Amino acid sequence: MFARLKSIYEFFKGVVPFRLQPAIITTIFLFVMLLLPVPEGLTPKSWALVAIFLTTILAIILKVMPIGVMAMMAMTIVALSQVTATSSRAAVADALASLSSPLIWLIVVAILISRGLKKTGLGSRVGLIFISQLGRKTVGIGYGLAFCELILAPFTPSNTARGGGIVHPIMKSIAGAFGSDPANGTERKMGTYLSLVNIHANTITSGMFITATAPNPLVVNYVARVTNQSFYLSWTDWALYMLVPGLTCLLLMPLVLSFISPPEVKSTPDAIGHAQRELKAMGPLSGKEWVMIGTFAMLLVLWANIPAMIFGPAFTLDPTAVAFLGLFTLIITGTIDWDDVLSEKSAWDTLIWFGALVMMAEQLNKTGVIAWFSDLLKGGILAAGMGWEAAAALLVLLFVFSHYFFASTTAHISAMMLAFLTVGVGIVPAAYVGLFLMMMIAGSTIMMTLTHYATGTSPIIFGSGYVSLAEWWKVGFIMCVGELIIYATLGAAWWKLLGIW
């Protein structure tokens, strides 16, 4: 009997388009959740929504299928089960409601715009320019990679595309030019150090702009919701609030890593020549690269609301409208074409999975699930007799370090952040709520440093073989703690100066 079941399992494992064992685990989990007694304080429909949401998160963590497929599964189940409404038409409307969210479209359009960085070669040129100026020492190359990340971050909401698709090939090219190759056992010459700079610059810059990584608008949405829209971060607000602590982390990071994981090769005068040769081969700036530069300048000016500052509030433009203007500019100038837009799979994938997760979060809030869970968490903290300072710190640390159990930043934020924010806002005195919120916002990207699966960029860089697993986790923990300290001290002082708390 057991042999028969095993053969059936092996057969289906080879023919189904998904990972069979995780799919079975996820399905069993869903049915177990649905069979459990409905907790006091929730309705049967709201508990069913919890089951669907947690099953979706589990499916994403276990990688049953691509995240977009899992999101579509959730939307389909919500629409068919009618857990959010009393009619099929209303349930479908609920399932699709978030696809019209301006925040989601801001990320989608920004991803489409960032395609121009690769197509025109401007992203690689920016990195090589920094290397040609700072590359006399290995640490200087590290700073060149970090500054390249900083320049590209406002326009590349896929931190994976930025760190893994643009900066990482530059880093590998430089390491290879100096004979640093894992295949030859020479990765520690400089490849290990540069790989660590690559990932940590990526995570730091991801926290400095709303448009630097896809989940950031979700964070904005949650913060606004728990404060009844009184603390809504615009693109400019986010960039200003994260400027000082984020820039400090970025400036210290290459130097700190040179002590934690020092490169064997310290002096690299040939790196400048290598970068200059690559730049010479690229030739002068092309017309399309100039269009990209002009478009980025326009986006920064409009996202920063400079016209409104000069001519009055009537000239304030929504960030999503500005993003559409930038995309249209690139299309009508031929910098990218419609086929580029249609073939940018990551943008349309983001629209689906992001829309589904936002939809479920909104419905969980609407049906009272978030309030119910928050009351449970708050009750546990109060029962422990903690002061609000210790409780707030515990919430931030639990949120950040629970990322060891997640392979998706988006899944982690979707599963936990709204509830943690709700509890914190309920415990922390009003005068200090702003500080708590900013630390949670900072933690949502700082946690990406921890593991080799913490964010999409991590497996790409780790897969190159330059950094061992033990080294990655050790450095990740040290950098995570260090960045939390910087945000809790220097960041807190900066936010105090800005009047956030």
Q: How far is CA 372 from CA 82, 200, 365, 379, in A?
A: 21, 37, 9, 11
- Taking alpha carbons only, the member of 390, 387, 386, 408 closest to residue 457 is 408
458-499 tens-digit pLDDT: 887 888 889 988 899 999 999 999 999 999 999 999 999 999
Alpha-carbon radius of gyration of the chain: 24
What is the rounded distance in angstroms from the CA atom of residue 209 to the CA atom of residue 110? 12
Confidence at 267, pLDDT banded by 50, 70, 90? confident
- Over range 266-287, report the average pLDDT: 86
What is the rounded distance in angstroms from the CA atom of residue 346 to the CA atom of residue 64? 18
pLDDT at 275 over 80: yes
DSSP per-residue letters across 216-228: HHHHHHHHHHHTT
For 98-107, 184-193, 234-243, 450-459, which range has the lowest pLDDT when averaged over its residues? 98-107
Secondary structure (3-state) at 101: coil
Residues in the chain: 501
pLDDT given for residue 249 in this prediction: 97
* Helix 122-134 with 102-120: angle, nearest 10 deg: 70
Q: How far is CA 48 from CA 52, 82, 150, 369, in A?
A: 6, 10, 43, 11
pLDDT at 177 over 80: no
* Helix 122-134 with 269-282: angle, nearest 10 deg: 150
Residue 448 identity: M
368-399 tens-digit pLDDT: 887 787 778 888 887 888 889 999 999 999 89
pLDDT at 1 over 70: no
Q: Is-contact 198 151, C-beta < 8 A?
A: no
- Taking alpha carbons only, the member of 421, 458, 500, 454 closest to residue 228 is 421
What is the rounded distance in angstroms from the CA atom of residue 446 to the CA atom of residue 454? 10
Confidence at 12, pLDDT banded by 50, 70, 90? low
- Over range 150-165, report the average pLDDT: 82
pLDDT given for residue 130 in this prediction: 78
pLDDT given for residue 376 in this prediction: 82
pTM: 0.74
pLDDT at 346 over 90: no
pLDDT at 22 over 80: yes
Q: How far is CA 348 from CA 134, 149, 409, 473, 500, in A?
A: 37, 24, 18, 32, 35
For 45-49, 162-166, 233-237, 428-432, which range has the lowest pLDDT when averaged over its residues? 162-166
127-141 tens-digit pLDDT: 788 778 877 888 998
- Taking alpha carbons only, the member of 159, 170, 160, 157 closest to residue 123 is 170
Enumerate the domain spans of the chain.
17-100, 103-221+238-345
Q: Is-contact 296 155, C-beta < 8 A?
A: yes
Looking at every residue in the chain, the average pLDDT score rounds to 87
75-98 tens-digit pLDDT: 999 999 999 998 999 999 999 988
What is the rounded distance in angstroms from the CA atom of residue 454 to the CA atom of residue 395? 19
pLDDT at 147 over 70: yes
